[in-house]
Chain A
Amino acid sequence: DAKTTQPNSMESNEEEPVHLPCNHSTISGTDYIHWYRQLPSQGPEYVIHGLTSNVNNRMASLAIAEDRKSSTLILHRATLRDAAVYYCIFTYNQGGKLIFGQGTELSVKP
């Protein structure tokens, strides 16, 4: 089963870094790790994805463990607009279905 495990909730202070963990012990060698976030009353939006190497973009960084069984989404300086539910997901290796877990609800305190 394509399952990920994330903490239900996390808190951060504004302008501090945030590390959001995800475990995905059943991931296969060809599955990419995707992160999406969902702001209140909106559809999910893409944050970042990666396969083996650490990845950076303007929104975040993604650190992938060497064994690929876990990853961490890093928001370098949290803002109030980063308060959202963050989903770590990966594809099945057949069919490409993206299965979302419960996600981590991130709250950011001013």
Chain B
Amino acid sequence: NAGVTQTPKFQVLKTGQSMTLQCAQDMNHNSMYWYRQDPGMGLRLIYYSASEGTTDKGEVPNGYNVSRLNKREFSLRLESAAPSQTSVYFCASSEFSGIGFSGNTIYFGEGSWLTVV
């Protein structure tokens, strides 16, 4: 059981380049999330998708776009990478979210280390 799988694990980009981080989960979860974590900091929510076909902004959405391709996959795109986007990116999933969401466990991927030079 793979859980949440992210690719790539490591990437170096030049300023202005674009790239897409891929995420897939095999737990039949409805909700998926993208977080970023800067050195020595906690996680900050970029975007999330409560269910297939919906996406919503989190705390730090600027500079990113997301696509919920199907129930399994949730991708994060950097259209024009900036050094400020150097970070570790975590994808996560949970069975539910939305109004009244309560105690579902969130499962995280292993992270994608992105450096923008």
Other than A85-B42, A97-B97, A100-B44, give 20 A-B pairs with Cβ distance below 8 A: A30-B100, A30-B102, A32-B103, A34-B103, A44-B108, A45-B108, A46-B105, A49-B105, A50-B103, A87-B43, A91-B101, A94-B99, A95-B50, A95-B97, A96-B31, A96-B100, A97-B48, A97-B56, A97-B58, A103-B42
Closest to B97 in A: A96
Closest to B102 in A: A32
Closest to A44 in B: B108
Q: How large is the interface on B (under 10, 10 to 19, 20 to 34, 35 or more residues)?
A: 20 to 34
User: Are A100 and B108 touching (Cβ within 8 A)?
Assistant: no
- Residues of A participating in the B interface, judged by any CB pair closer than 8 Å: 30-32, 34, 36, 41-46, 49-51, 85, 87, 91, 93-103
Q: Is B96 in contact with chain A by the CB < 8 A criterion?
A: yes
Q: 12 pairs across A/B with beta carbons < 8 Å?
A: A31-B102, A34-B106, A44-B43, A87-B42, A95-B50, A95-B99, A96-B96, A96-B98, A97-B56, A97-B58, A100-B43, A102-B42
**Considering the complex, which residues of chain B in the window 40-92 have a beta carbon less than 8 Å from any beta carbon of chain A?**
41-45, 48, 50, 56, 58-59, 90, 92
